[in-house]
C-alpha cells in the first residue's frame, strides 16, 4: 500500500501533507490555480460540456471552484447535524477509496465546483409553469453526465501527478439515507461541501445560492493534499437568501406548483412525490423518452436564479 508524506515536499513528516514551510504553501496555491485552469479548460471543450451527446451547445457556463481543509470544523458539525451514523467525514470517504492509507483530516482537502445553468436553459425554464422545460430536463440528465465525467477527470488529473483523490458520490458505498432531522439525506452532500468551500449559502427551497445564483449543479472531489482554503464570505448558512436576510421574497414558494416550499422550508416528501409521479413521467412521455427527475421550477424566475440577491444589501458576496 502507498506510504508517503507530502506529495509536493520530501521534508514533510510521514503521513503529513505539509512540512509547513512557506514555499510549500506557495506551491499549493499555484496548484490550486492550475486545478482551476484544468477544470475550466476541460469544461471549455465541446466534447466534454454538451447539452446532449454530439451537440456543440454547452450544458453549463464557466464553473466556480472552491476548496476547504479536511480539518475544517464544519465537517464534524455536519456529520453530527445530518446523521452521525451515516454522514462521512472526508477521511472516512477517503479511507473507503484507499483502504489502508494512514490519513488524517488535515492531510486532505475538498475541491468543490459550481456548474451554472446557461442563460438559454434558464430563460426556457422561466417560461415553464407546472412542468419542466425540455432544456432543463436535458441539463438535468446529460448535464449530470458532464458532472460525473468532470469528477472522474479531476480524479485522473490528480492521479497523473501521483496524488490520490476520489469523488465521494461516485464511491460504491455512497447511498441515500434518512436523517432524523432533515428526512432525505445521503452519505455525502456536495451542496454542503460547496457551502464549506465558500461557494454559497442555502435558500428557503434548500438550493445552494451561489454568486451566480441557484440554477446550478454541484460537484466535489477529495484530494490528498492540503490546498489553501478559499474564504467563506458569510457568517450564516442562510445568509444569501432574501427571506432569511430580510424576511421578504418567498418567490420560490410561489413558483413551486405543489406547495412544497413554505416559510418553514422545503417539504422533501411532497417535492419527491411530485417529481416521481408527475414530472419524471412527463419527461418520459413528452420529452426524452425516459424518466428523469427533472423539476427545478423553484430555481428559475426567482431573484436568486443567477445571482446572490443579497449582494447589494450586504455589499458582499463576491470572493
Ligand atoms: S427565491 Fe427568495 S426566498 Fe426563495 S431561496 Fe431565493 S431568495 Fe430565498
Ligand atoms: S423541485 Fe419542483 S416540486 Fe420540488 S420544491 Fe422545487 S418547484 Fe417544488
Q: What is the mean pLDDT of residues 115-137?
A: 98
Q: Candidates 249, 250, 259: which one to mutate for ligand 1, based on the most atoms within 8 Å of Cβ?
A: 249
Query: How high is the pLDDT of residue 230?
Result: 95
Query: How high is the pLDDT of residue 32?
Result: 85
Kindly report the average pLDDT of the chain as a whole number. 91
Ligand 2 binding residues, C-beta < 6 A: 205, 256, 258, 260-261, 266, 271, 274, 295-298
CA 250, CA 244: separation in Å to the nearest integer? 10
- Ordered by start, the domain boundaries in the chain are 22-308
Ligand nearest to the CA of 259: 2
The DSSP line for 269-283 is: HHHHHHIIIIIHHHI
Query: How many Cα atoms are found within 13 Å in the side-chain-facing hemisphere of 133?
Result: 18
Q: How many CB atoms lie under 10 A from the CB of residue 37?
A: 11
pTM over 0.75: yes
Distance 90 CA to ligand 2 centre (A): 30
Of all atoms in ligand 1, which is nearest to the CA of residue 255? 1
User: Three-class SS of residue 300?
Assistant: coil
Of all atoms in ligand 2, which is nearest to the CA of residue 206? 5
- Percent of the chain with pLDDT strictly greater than 70: 89
Distance 261 CA to ligand 1 centre (A): 10
User: What is the per-residue pLDDT across 6-21, written as a single tens digit (0 to 9) for each?
Assistant: 545 555 555 454 555 5
64-85 burial, b at 16+ Cβ within 10 Å, e below that, comes to bbbbbbbbbebbeebbeebbee
For the record, the C-alpha cell of 291 comes out as 424518466
CB 193 within 8 A of CB 112: yes
User: What is the per-residue pLDDT across 197-250, written as a single tens digit (0 to 9) for each?
Assistant: 999 999 999 999 999 999 999 999 999 998 889 999 999 999 999 999 999 999
CB 97 within 8 A of CB 170: no
Distance 79 CA to ligand 1 centre (A): 26
Of all atoms in ligand 1, which is nearest to the CA of residue 309? 7
Of all atoms in ligand 2, which is nearest to the CA of residue 297? 7
Query: How high is the pLDDT of residue 161?
Result: 86
Amino acid at each position: 500500500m502507498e506510504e508517503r508524506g507530502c506529495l509536493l515536499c520530501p521534508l514533510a513528516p510521514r503521513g503529513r501533507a505539509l512540512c509547513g514551510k512557506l514555499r510549500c504553501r506557495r506551491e499549493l496555491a499555484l496548484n490550486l490555480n492550475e486545478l482551476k485552469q484544468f477544470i475550466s479548460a476541460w469544461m471549455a471543450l465541446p466534447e466534454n460540456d454538451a447539452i446532449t451527446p454530439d451537440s456543440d451547445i454547452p450544458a453549463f457556463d464557466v464553473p466556480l471552484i472552491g476548496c476547504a481543509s479536511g480539518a475544517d470544523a464544519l465537517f464534524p458539525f455536519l456529520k453530527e447535524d445530518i446523521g452521525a451514523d451515516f454522514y462521512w467525514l472526508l477521511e472516512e470517504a477517503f479511507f473507503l477509496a484507499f483502504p489502508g492509507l494512514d490519513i488524517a483530516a488535515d492531510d486532505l482537502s475538498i475541491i468543490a465546483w459550481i456548474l451554472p445553468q446557461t442563460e438559454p436553459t434558464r430563460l426556457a425554464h422561466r417560461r415553464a409553469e407546472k412542468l419542466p422545460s425540455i432544456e432543463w430536463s436535458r441539463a438535468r440528465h446529460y448535464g449530470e453526465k458532464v458532472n460525473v465525467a468532470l469528477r472522474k477527470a479531476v480524479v485522473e488529473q490528480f492521479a497523473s501527478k501521483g496524488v490520490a483523490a476520489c469523488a465521494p458520490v461516485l464511491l460504491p458505498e455512497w447511498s441515500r439515507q434518512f436523517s432524523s432531522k432533515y428526512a432525505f439525506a445521503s452519505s455525502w452532500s456536495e451542496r454542503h461541501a460547496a457551502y464549506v468551500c465558500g461557494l454559497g449559502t442555502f435558500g428557503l427551497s434548500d438550493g445552494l445560492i451561489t454568486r451566480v445564483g441557484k440554477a446550478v449543479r454541484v460537484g466535489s472531489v477529495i484530494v490528498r493534499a492540503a490546498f489553501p482554503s478559499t474564504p467563506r464570505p458569510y457568517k450564516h448558512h442562510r445568509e444569501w437568501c432574501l427571506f432569511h436576510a430580510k424576511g421578504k421574497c418567498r418567490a420560490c414558494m410561489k413558483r413551486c406548483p405543489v406547495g412544497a416550499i413554505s416559510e418553514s422550508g422545503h417539504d422533501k416528501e411532497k417535492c419527491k412525490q411530485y417529481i416521481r409521479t408527475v414530472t419524471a413521467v412527463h419527461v418520459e412521455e413528452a420529452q426524452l423518452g425516459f424518466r428523469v427527475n427533472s423539476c427545478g421550477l423553484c430555481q428559475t424566475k426567482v431573484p436568486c436564479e443567477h445571482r446572490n440577491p443579497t449582494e447589494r444589501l450586504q455589499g458582499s458576496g463576491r470572493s
